[in-house]
Structure 1
């Protein structure tokens, strides 16, 4: 038998990229959260999935929103990851780019505009499935996460 901590350690051995999910609430305030539980589901149609803790502050915003942005972070955007993971406080407001009226982070490795298809409760998480409506690719290397630490690809 294993413990929750052992399970968490085991899952931490799976290296992932880092994304920031952004959406506007009904008051048009931008909310964002760092997420590494992100995956491609389907090529045709182009579908993705993200998984968030049910207590995540952005859950209400994503439940209300029809569309949201996904910014796949480059290795030069560690600060964004830390800000949206509440690991770092900043006095400066984060600037966003808007594509099809959806906020994304500037100069992210990939910027995606997604339209929510469904949400599924799964244990202590909610999985959001969305269709990718637009995307932009930019040059750079990904910011990675493994074993509870940020990593970068070696040259």
Structure 2
């Protein structure tokens, strides 16, 4: 099968949109990602997947920590900025959660330290131990079939 066909197949799976952030030598870096999931409750572990050629890969290795910021449906602009799809004149301002930079108003901010690392194919999976988190109310930003989307509640089936 061709790479494009495989990418299109994977795009059929709707995902949330996240910004992964880390800090190296006082400089904060972020990237948009959707490859994220929970792994364990005890200890509290998550996993992110970073491409072998992404600049973020070495930055996370250097810092040993990162945040995962689950974006709200009002944060498409933030997603586009960190995906390199939109340029901004001013430097993006991050908040802090402990020692970790986080995106303001994200639905969920997870502050993590690298717990383990696995190279699989052309990506590296970072297992992160969650040290702290902040939750907000709202609906997530969704990505499906190459487009940003919003959640829409389905009507519940009528009682029989």
Measured against the shorter chain, the TM-score band is: over 0.9
Q: How many residues align?
A: 153
1:38 deviation in Å?
A: 0.4
Q: Which residue of 2 aligns with 1:134?
A: 132
Question: Aligned partners of 2:91, 2:3: CA distance in 1, in Å?
Answer: 36
Q: Which residue of 2 aligns with 1:79?
A: 77
Equivalent residue in structure 2 for 1:32, among 30, 33, 57: 30
Runs of 4+ aligned structure 1 residues displaced above 2 Å come to none
Q: Which residue of 2 aligns with 1:70?
A: 68
Question: Aligned partners of 1:57, 1:77: CA distance in 2, in Å?
Answer: 23
Structure 2 portions without partners, runs of 5+: 154-160
Question: Aligned partners of 2:89, 2:77: CA distance in 1, in Å?
Answer: 13
Equivalent residue in structure 2 for 1:125, among 107, 113, 123: 123
**Which secondary structure state, in structure 2, belongs to the residue aligned with residue 83 of structure 1?**
helix
Q: Which residue of 1 aligns with 2:11?
A: 12
Question: Aligned partners of 2:64, 2:121: CA distance in 1, in Å?
Answer: 24
Question: Aligned partners of 1:126, 1:89: CA distance in 2, in Å?
Answer: 27
Structure 1 portions without partners, runs of 5+: none
Question: Aligned partners of 2:100, 2:43: CA distance in 1, in Å?
Answer: 20
**Bigger-Rg structure (1/2):** 2
1:28 deviation in Å?
A: 1.3
**How does the TM-score come out when normalised to structure 1?**
0.96
Question: Aligned partners of 2:99, 2:49: CA distance in 1, in Å?
Answer: 23
1:64 deviation in Å?
A: 0.9
Aligned-residue CA RMSD in angstroms?
0.9
- C-alpha deviations, 1:36-72, integer Å up to 9, x for none? 0000011111100000111111111101112211110
Question: Aligned partners of 2:106, 2:142: CA distance in 1, in Å?
Answer: 14
